[in-house]
Chains A and B, each alone.
Chain A
Amino acid sequence: MEILKVLGLNKVYGKEENQVNALRDVNFTMEKGEFAAVVGESGSGKSTLLNCIGGLDLPTAGKVFLDGEDLYALDEKKRTIFRRRNIGFIFQAFHLIGELSVEQNIIFPLLLDRQKPDKEKLEELMEVLGIADRRKHLPGQLSGGQMQRVAIGRALIMRPMMILADEPTGNLDSRNSRDVMDLLVRAARHYQQTILMITHNMNLTSDADRVLRVTDGVLKDLGGKRHEKLS
């Protein structure tokens, strides 16, 4: 089942001689449960692609359909709510809220959506992430690996159809990177979620079903276990 469809995506920064084409006519689709890795040089347009797909950055042209919904046909408020419910973000710098405990950080999207967290599911998620014993801790009291686990928990709590991860292991050592990747794949498989992950680390692409390369804003599909579901 096709979950993501990107059509003719273009992103241009600046004007006239300062104009930079960050994305040039990007077209691709992703199936439900698929795990794709995006690789490319710094400044090639990977993060721009992720931000455009996630509704954080407005493309200059093109469309992004998520589960059939045209993301940029929605107004800003509706797009935010759509993102909150259907897209989970994982950032390299974690971006946890310093004033919220581990548990509060994880359920933060639920609280924003005025939903009551399901205690059992929350417990299960924290067990899977291995941070159940740290639930009352503040982000400042956690290690980098633990912080990224909390960020993954936050991305998963709404059971979004799509997870966008921007260099999730960029700030972690190799052991923690491995753990986080395992966790991401395991969780995504468990919850049947589609993952699009940016990485510099070619070793991590082995976990992905597909590898996409972005060069000067042009996307190229490098192939992989195409159409093979994670489950």
Chain B
Amino acid sequence: MVRICIILSVFLVTAIFGMADMEIRSQNIQAKRNYGEWHVGIRDVSDEEAELLSLRPKVAACTRYDTLNYRLSMDYEIAGKKAVIAGFDESALDIFSAVEFLEGAFPQEGEALVGKDMQKRLNLKIGDTVILGCPDGREREYRVSGIIEQLPMLAEKDVYGISMNIEDFRKLSLEGAQDNHDSLVYLQFSPWCNIRKEIRLIRESFGFSEEQMGGNEVLLATIGQSSDLSMLAIYGIAFLLAVLVAVAGILMITSSLSSNIAQRTEFFGLLRCIGASREQVACFVKRQALYWCRTAIPAGVLTGTVVVWILCAVLRFLSPTYFADMPGLGISWIGLICGSLLGIVTVLVSSASPARKASGVSPLTAVSGNAWDRAPVRKAVSARLRRVETALGFHHALGNRRNFILMTCSFAFSIILFLGFTVTIDFMHYAVKPLSPQAPDISIVSPDNTCSLPGYLAERIGELRDVKRVYGRRFAYDVPIETGAGQESAYLISYERHQFAWAQDSLIEGSLQDTEEGGGVLAVYRPEEASAAPGNAAGLKTGDVIRADIGGTQCQLAVTGILSECPFNTDSGQRILICSEDTFIRLTGEEGYTIIDLQMTRDAAKDAAEEIRELAGEDVVFSDKRLRNAEVRGAVYSFALFVYGFLGVIALISAVNIMNSIAMSVSARLREYGAMQAVGMDSGQLLLMIAAEAAAYGLWGILLGCGIGIPLNRFIYEQMVTLRWGTSWDFPALPLGIIILVMVVSLLAAVCGPARRIREMSVVDVIADR
């Protein structure tokens, strides 16, 4: 058992540090890919200053990088679509790994790089000409010098982008848009450089202001050079978690070592009897614990590494795009070193108390046969109502108050933490839209936000092999309505069957069926109007009637239900009303869609989006959200993995604690059990007695855990979810069921070990007088 505890502690520490290491490596790669490999960016730097900066010994790379129309607020256009323009030095290609060169060469004068998507759509090849329309009406021509990988931002916004050398860019930006471009110099420092110090020195030498300089904080954080408080908080949490595991590990090993010592009290008495000093006995125990480390630490480190590999594989499977760069079978030296070191330190600290205990064993115990004597019993078992073995089991649990309180609290603590933490999962599901089932991979939007997308388009797209689901919506904006609260304006949106099915989870009150069948509309909860009762949509409730003026026609709409949320926001707090497609067509006469959303199959072909784009035509806004969704999902999965992993660690530690305590209790009573068997207690009754003891801890722990955990869960839920989305708190049956199941399984496991030991023990040996 001691070996298992050491393995478990080392495994946990190795896995935590290993996973953190892998996460940091992955974040590092992601940061390099998303933001570039620069460490600091400086605005408004002259070319002379840039030259001087590049000559500094600790600067590994320096590039000028400017963008124009990044916010799409200006009318730069290519082939009728808005365009983003970037200009940079050739050295930028080393710093910005996202600008992945597919073919061609860096643009010279009058040349530009284009994205893969743009190249395909405009059927461009190297040497062709692209025409850039400027806001002042002039047009500029650029020869295509190379093709680069598509950027997620361009795909999502459905815009084109071209990149050119910095001289051409400056000519372009000087032609009337001087104030609308972002001009920066990016610096990359050499490895092992004290970046914060170097940034300070640069600021002081060049007289740059704080506002002029900005760090690539995510990248700096992954190499431990960030001063960003949020990043430091993440490190703080990781450190706290490691400390918690170390403390839990110390308690776990101490407990099992004590159990081991308790079983060999007589042996230590004998050692003292034959002349071993107290120090020698203490040394013996410590050395023995260290001897166990010889096999336990490599086993723990190996298990931890394998688990890290599995977790990395799981993350890569869940979010292949985001975690593509996560090392597959990487070795985390930090994990290995921390696991091994902490293992040895934990064992040394843990063995101190048991060593003291063992050295305190009197030599008399070996000769008097009193090694098994326990603390005197103060009160007899009450066996009036229960079976005697059950009563004895409960008495064993309740007899030692200190142990009982510790065990009960340990159980309760696990339940409280579990119930508290699970709310973050609910919060995550509400807060992160790409996680919701209705999150689209691709959206086809009417360019003028009218119902201009033909209905047959949705049908045709739905017939494609790589498309899993298509669902369209019609929008009527700024519909004047009159509610009990007075005159308002609303968005009227149509839902089809998929969206109604997804809305079921958000239904606070009323029924979806009536709306789906054309009997009325659904109103969406607005937190800013939250009244005393959560879930009440401030004036609008099921059964209310709204008077609306749609296209000059007056009509009455009955509210048949309230939704806690919907996937859309309004511009200025207008009310959102949802109706069926038939109702929408009847009220507005519009049969086309405003938005057609679609979800792709998991194994969709890479060029499937192109096929859909061709079907949709060029006169739509085609928003490919897959890359962006994958990024968000990836972040959420790592968060979820962290939360669930932490919950798992809590459960695992309590399980081991329970097993140790039961094992210790059984060891202390082994002789008594032998006597009970001799006078006729069968092994089933004996097992029941141990199970009753374990159940006593479990029962009180669960009661205490539920007593505190459920109100805590409700409080956190109402603060994090109800206040924002109006969804009222539900009894957390599933998480509670899971944690109780874990507890019950731990209890069964805790009983199984001693039960096997008792089955194998010889009554004669146990009761034999020594």
Q: Which residues of A approach B to under 8 Å, CB–CB?
A: 47, 51, 54, 56-57, 76-77, 80-81, 83-85, 89, 91-93, 95-101, 104, 108-109, 111-114, 136, 138, 140, 154-155, 158
- A57, A83, A84: the one contacting B764 at CB < 8 Å is A57
* With A77-B684, A80-B682 as contacts: A100 and B381 at CB distance below 8 Å: yes
Given A77-B684, A92-B769, A97-B672, check contact A111 B377 (CB 8 Å): no
**Which residues 415-473 of B sit at the A interface, judged by CB distance below 8 A?**
none
Known pairs A47-B768, A93-B767, A155-B679 / 7 extra A-B pairs, C-beta < 8 Å: A47-B764, A57-B762, A77-B682, A85-B680, A91-B769, A95-B674, A112-B389
B679 with A89: CB separation less than 8 A? yes
* Contact with B680, one of A57, A95, A109 (Cβ below 8 angstroms): A109
Scan B669-709; emit 1 where CB is below 8 A from any A CB, else 0: 00110111111111111000000000000000000000000
B374 at interface (Cβ–Cβ under 8 A)? yes
**24 residue pairs A–B, Cβ–Cβ below 8 Å:** A47-B768, A51-B764, A57-B763, A57-B764, A77-B683, A80-B680, A85-B680, A91-B678, A97-B392, A97-B675, A98-B672, A99-B392, A99-B395, A99-B399, A100-B381, A104-B381, A104-B388, A109-B679, A109-B680, A112-B679, A112-B680, A112-B681, A140-B376, A140-B377
Q: Which 4 A-B pairs have the closest CB atoms?
A: A84-B680, A95-B675, A111-B388, A101-B380
**Interface of B, helix, strand, loop or mixed by DSSP:** helix
Known: A51-B764, A56-B678, A84-B679. A112 touches B374 (CB 8 A): no
Give the chain B neighbours of A91 by CB distance below 8 A. 675, 678, 767, 769
Contact A83 B680 (CB under 8 A): yes
Q: CA of A148 to CA of B359 in the docked complex: distance in angstroms?
A: 34
Please name all residues of chain B whose beta carbon is closer than 8 Å to the beta carbon of A114 when the two chains form the complex: 387
Q: Are B679 and A56 in contact (CB under 8 A)?
A: no
Q: Which residue of B lies closest to A52 (CB)?
A: B764
Most buried by A among B392, B672, B768, B769: B769
- Supposing A98-B377, A99-B396, A112-B388 touch, asked if A56 and B680 sit within 8 A by C-beta, the answer is no
Nearest opposing residue in chain B for A57, CB measure: B764
**CB-CB nearest in chain A for B669:** A98
* Residue B383, interface by CB 8 Å: yes
Contact among A47, A95, A104, A111 with B678 in the assembled complex (CB-CB below 8 Å): A95
Contact B767 A113 (CB under 8 A): no
Cα–Cα distance between A104 and B380 once the two chains are bound (Å): 9
Q: Which residues of A contact B374 (CB under 8 A)?
A: 98
Whether A95 touches B767, Cβ cut-off 8 Å, given contacts A77-B682, A104-B383, A111-B383, is yes
- Whole-angstrom CA separation of A98 from B684 in the bound complex: 21
Residues of A within 8 A of B682 (CB): 76-77, 80-81, 84, 112
Residue numbers in A under 8 Å from B395 (CB-CB): 99
Inside 8 A of B376's CB, which chain A residues have their CB? 98, 140
A112 vs B681: C-alpha distance when bound (angstroms): 6
Give, as a whole number of angstroms, the nearest-CB distance from B373 to chain A: 9
Residues of B371-402 contacting chain A, CB below 8 A:
374, 376-377, 380-381, 383, 387-389, 392, 395-396, 399
- What's the Cα separation between A56 and B763 when bound, in Å? 6
**Which one, B676, B685, B764, contacts A56 given CB within 8 A?**
B764
- Chain A proximity of B671: nearest CB distance (Å): 8
| A104 to B: closest C-beta gap in Å | 6
Expressed in whole angstroms, the Cα–Cα distance for A16 and B767 within the complex equals 27
Cβ–Cβ contact A80 & B764, under 8 A: no
Min distance, Cβ A97 to any Cβ of chain B, angstroms: 6
Judging by beta carbons under 8 Å apart, are A81 and B680 in contact?
yes
B158 → chain A closest CB, angstroms? 76
Q: Mark B740-752, 1 if CB is under 8 A from A, else 0.
A: 0000000000000
**CB of B666, distance to nearest CB on chain A (Å):** 15
Task: Contacts A99-B381, A108-B388 given; indicate if A76 touches B683 (C-beta within 8 A).
Answer: yes
What's the least CB distance linking A169 to chain B, in Å?
14
Q: Are B383 and A89 in contact (CB under 8 A)?
A: no
A195: min CB distance to chain B, Å:
17
- In Å, the complex CA distance between A84 and B389 comes to 15
Return A153 CB to nearest CB of chain B, in Å: 12
Are B377 and A93 in touch, CB under 8 angstroms?
Answer: no
Chain A residues, CB < 8 A from B383: 100, 104, 111
Measured CB to CB, the nearest residue on chain A to B672 is A97
B377 touches A99 (CB 8 A): yes
List residues of chain A with CB within 8 A of the CB of B675.
91, 95-97
State whether B678 touches A113 (Cβ < 8 A): no
- CB-CB under 8 A from B764, the residues of chain A are 47, 51, 56-57
Please name all residues of chain B whose beta carbon is closer than 8 Å to the beta carbon of A97 when the two chains form the complex. Answer: 392, 672, 675-676
Most buried by B among A83, A91, A98, A109: A98
Give Cα distance in the complex from A112 to B676, angstroms: 10
Give every chain B residue within 8 A of A95 (Cβ-Cβ).
Answer: 671-672, 674-675, 678-679, 767
Point out the residues of chain A lying under 8 angstroms from B768, CB to CB.
47
Question: What is the distance, in angstroms, from B383's C-beta to the closest C-beta of chain A?
Answer: 6
Q: In whole angstroms, how far apart are the Cα atoms of A155 and B675 in the complex?
A: 12
**A111–B677 Cα gap in the complex (Å)?**
13
